Every structure is written in C-alpha cells, then in structure tokens.
Copies of this chain bind each other. A is one copy, B any other.
Amino acid sequence: MSLSRYFPILDWGRRYDRTALTGDAVAAVIVTIMLIPQSLAYALLAGMPPEAGIYASIAPILLYAIFGTSRALAVGPVAVVSLMTAAAVGNIAESGTAGYVAAALTLAALSGAMLLALGLLRLGFLANFLSHPVIAGFITASGILIAASQLRHILGIEAEGHTLLEIAKSLWAHLDEVNVITLALGASATAFLYWVRGGLKPLLRRAGLGPRAADIGAKTGPVLAIVATTLAVWAFDLEARGVAIVGEVPQSLPPLTVPSVSPELLRQLAVPALLISIIGFVESISVAQTLAAKKRQRIDPDQELIGLGAANMGAAFTGGFPVTGGFSRSVVNYDAGVETPAAGAFTAIGLALAALFLTPLIHYLPKATLAATIIVAVLSLVDLSILTRAWTFSRADFAAVSVTILLTLFAGVELGVTAGVVTSILVHLYKTSRPHMAVVGRVSGTEHFRNVLRHEVETQPHVLSLRVDESLYFPNARYLEDQLGAFAADKPDLTDVVLMFPAVNEVDLSALESLEAINTRLRDAGIRLHLSEVKGPVMDRLQRSHFLDELTGEIFLSQHEAELHLRNPEAARAPASSGVAAKGAARSAESLRSGGASRNGP
C-alpha cells in the first residue's frame, strides 16, 4: 500500500491491458508530433540550444510516468518556466555559452531537489499561498513578456532584456537592422498559426474528416509551418540572406550530465529555483486536477511534488532545463484518449527517435518560425479580464493582480510573483486588523440574531450585543478595545455587554490580554461582560487561561439564551445558574431545553 503511494506506477501498471495500450499509443504519437516543435521553441525561449528542448522532454516524461499521479499530464519545457529559466540563468552567464547550459542544469537540479523535499515533507499546501488572482496575473504578464521577447526573432535582430521596458528599448535601438526576409517568414508563420487555431479544423471537417480526426489534424499546424519554412530556407538559400536558422543539432540520445553544485551557483539560483518550483507546481497541478476531475480520478498534491521533482532531477542529469506539466500538451494527450502514464513512456520513445534521426532535417528551420509558434501559443495565456473580474469582486484581489502584472512586466518575473504573494498577505493582514463588528438584535419571531443596520430586529436598551466578525489575534486585539469603547459610549444606561463569538475562530495571547482589559474596564464602569456562541476550539483555549475565572458575566451557548437570560433574569434563573456552572464546559442540552421552554412559556 505505502509503496504504491510513492510509486503510483505499481497501481495502474498492474492492471494494464490491451485497451489501455491502444489509447496510450495513439495519444503518444499525436503528442510526439506536437512536442517536437514545442520543445525546440521553448529551448529557444529559455536561451538553450534546440536539442536541450527535446532532451528535457524525454527523461522527465519517463520519470513522471513512474512517480506522478495524473493520467494525462504531459511534462516537459513550458512557456512560463522557460521564461523564468532565461531570466534566472541570464543573470549568471551569457546565452549560448557553456556556463549558461551548466547553470540551467543546476537550476533544474535545485528545483527538482526542492520539489522532492516539499513533497516528502508534505508541504504541498504552501502552493496555496499563490492566490488565484496572483497566478492569473502572473501568467498573463508572462505571456506578454514572452511574446515581446520573441519579436526579435520575427524581426531578425539582436535584442535582449528581461522586462518590457528593456525589451522595447533594445528592439528600438536595433530597429534599423531588421531583416526583411526573416520578417516576411516570421509574420506569415505567425499569421498562418493564428489562423490554424480557429480556421483549420472547420476546413478539415468540410474536407470530409470526422470531428476527432479534424481536431488532431488541426494540431499538426505547427508541423506544417515548420516544414514549409524549412523548405523555403533550404530551397532559396535564405541563410545567405541573413535568416537565422537553428543550424547544427547533434544526433544523439540525451547525454548524461552532472549539474554543478558550486555553493556560489547554488546561492545565486536558490530563490529563482524556489519560485520556478512553486510556479511550475501550481501550473501543473491545476492542469492535472482539471483533467482528473473530468474522469473522477484523484490527484495527490504531495505525490505530484515528488513526480515533478523526479522529472526535474531527470532533466538536470540529461542535458535539459527546468520542466513542468504543460497545459496544451496535456489537453491534447487527454483529447487523444490517453489511458495511463504509459503514454508518457511511449512519447519519450518517440522523442528519442526524433533526437536520433530527425535532427538533421531541422538544420534549416528558421528561428522566426519557432518564435511564431511561441507567440501564438502564449498569446492564448494573456487574459486581462482577470483585472475587471478582480475589480468588481474586491479591491484587495485587484491590488494583488495589478501589483503582480505591473511588477512582472516592468521589474521581472521573480519580483512580480513575489510581490504578488506579499501583497496578498499584507492586504489580508490589513483587512483582519480592522474587523467588521455588528451590533445585533433578534429577528422577530426567531431565535436568530442579525446586524441592527441590515435587518429589522429587536434589541434591549440596557444590553449591547456585539458580533465580532473576525478571529481575535494580535493585529486586531487593540482595535476591539477601541471599538467596544466607542459602541459602549453611545449607550449610557448599559448594564450588560454580550460579545457574540460565532465568527471568532481563534483567540491568541494578545487578544486574551485585550479581553482581560475589556473585562476590567467594563467592571470598573459597573457593566458585566458576557460571551455567547463561543466555539469549541476557542473555548478549549480560553479554559487554559484565568480569563474565565475573572469574567464578570457568563458564557451562553447561544445568543438566544443570552437574550432570554438578560431580558428576564427571574424567569430564566435556571439556565442562568447552569450557565455559570457550565462556564468553560461543553454545555449539556438540558439547560438549553429549559431555556427554549421558557421562551414558549410566558
């Protein structure tokens, strides 16, 4: 049992049959065809040699098949992680140097080690701190950045930079060097690929193909673009006219590489590796969960961390760079009828064959075509509607999204995502530091108590019932003191204050001090302090302090009981005294029942 938890392959491998094999094999062929151009393109984006993209798809996909829990996830280089790799490694070495490739290996190893550690320590919940708006904003901004960074390949000029301003400045400075033939190739490839996304499938349907075949046929668009532009470069010797091509690519299986563990390099890459790990994990797990939900399969987040960690380790030892589960390829995999992770193994075989035999064919492939593939792919990630959604829903979420987008675009990916997380946390702390509080009264004819400002309710002049709509902890402990003072000041003939605690999920030591101070101050003013609807966990906590001994009033199971008792102390004496006895204990239902009876009595 526990072995198959860490090796999900033991689980599905045991029940593998011919049906699964057929589904997996078909899916593998389609995904392999799709992955060849994608792998080359994302290698370009990451600043790596083209073969690294293929290598990064082979070992990782195999290792994920052993350790991963998703049936459909296809692991390999993806756009956002490749962009982050370029940003991180670009700070250490120049793209195209041996140092750059070595640093990328180390980055993959470091990221793999972090993912494995998080998985083994079962810390997958940490990824939750990347809120939905921060991820959405980050991916949108990354898409824009990636598209901008690829413009140089379309224009055929040298340009660099890791922020939008840097890229724009650099493009502007080299604008006089535009290669017109490259631009023509790149622009037409982009236009073609853009059309393919919407127009090829209906065309294939009209040509008589079935819906599934048309769907799959449409995915071959990038291959068509690659074949056509490669042939054009070869036939018209466009390389001599300045069109940048992929060039010599070694014909080989993935090499065995050993990532450097120089302390200086590890120190420089630690933060980027952590961010890449978390972003990669969040992206991958949301794809995996979306696809698993459709077939009612289960994804184990902690095991996913182990699967992705193993995949990145694999990339580090076979000449790759950081990888994660990709959205588009996984969807293709799923649509093609994948049954088990064995499809990944078959894809790996397909890519290994491609690495051995197809690489000479891409010698004349223009980089502009790869750039076009990337641009069309990432523009589908750009979705600025998150800004309007967040604005409508809450200013706090809007703040997090806009900080993330702006900083990602103009200060870099690492700062962008970090600032997004920090903003989310700060905004949350700020909000909880000034909690909502409502004076409540009884909704007529019920035992239910609501805000006097929103509902038509009954109140008693000498009782102030205040509902505290937040856990009480250090950022808001003193605020409660101030607010209670303000509310109490409006009621001169006050004898009793009831703090209604259904929304107080925690009371920490700072808040306990505040409650003690409130109790003392009210006592000095001749006012009793009661609590109602205190939850079990909070009650357990309060019992460990002296507060309950010093409390001038009582603890009521429900606000209704509190109101009955304070409205008519004589009639409700029984529940009141048992209320005192039960202070700090889980109240028995008996006293309440008598409380309920007295309500129906006089």
- A residues at B contact (CB < 8 Å): 125, 128-134, 293, 389-390, 392-394, 396-397, 424-425, 428-429, 431-436, 438, 443-448, 450-451, 454-457, 469-471, 473-479, 502-506, 508-510, 512-513, 517, 521, 533, 535-537, 541, 544-545, 557-558, 560, 586-589, 592-593, 595-597, 600
Contacts and interface: CB of A to CB of B under 8 A. Distances in A.
Nearest to A428: B473
A592 B434 contact: no
Contacts of A535: 436, 438, 451, 469, 503
Nearest to A481: B289
Nearest to A135: B510
B293 A474 contact: no
A383 to B, nearest CB: 14
A509 B137 CA distance: 13
A390 B312 CA distance: 43
Contacts of A596: 445-446
A560 B510 contact: no
A509 B390 contact: yes
A445 B476 contact: no
13 contacts: A125-B433, A128-B477, A129-B475, A130-B474, A132-B513, A293-B517, A432-B471, A445-B597, A447-B447, A447-B448, A447-B560, A448-B557, A470-B471
B509 A397 contact: yes
A541 to B, nearest CB: 6
The 6 residue pairs across chains A and B that have the minimum distance between CB atoms: A131-B474, A132-B510, A445-B593, A447-B447, A397-B509, A502-B502
A470 B446 CA distance: 26
Given A397-B510, A432-B505, 5 more contacts: A129-B429, A131-B477, A397-B509, A444-B589, A469-B535
Contacts of A428: 473
Contacts of A597: 445
Contacts of A389: 509
A557 B443 contact: yes
A158 B433 CA distance: 47
B503 A503 contact: yes
B436 A509 contact: no
Contacts of A587: 455
Given A443-B589, A448-B592, A479-B128, A393 B512 contact: yes
User: Which of A505, A536, A560 neighbours the largest number of chain B CB atoms within 10 Å of its CB?
Assistant: A505
B445 A133 contact: no
A470 B469 CA distance: 10
A544 to B, nearest CB: 5
B509 A133 contact: yes
B125 A394 contact: no
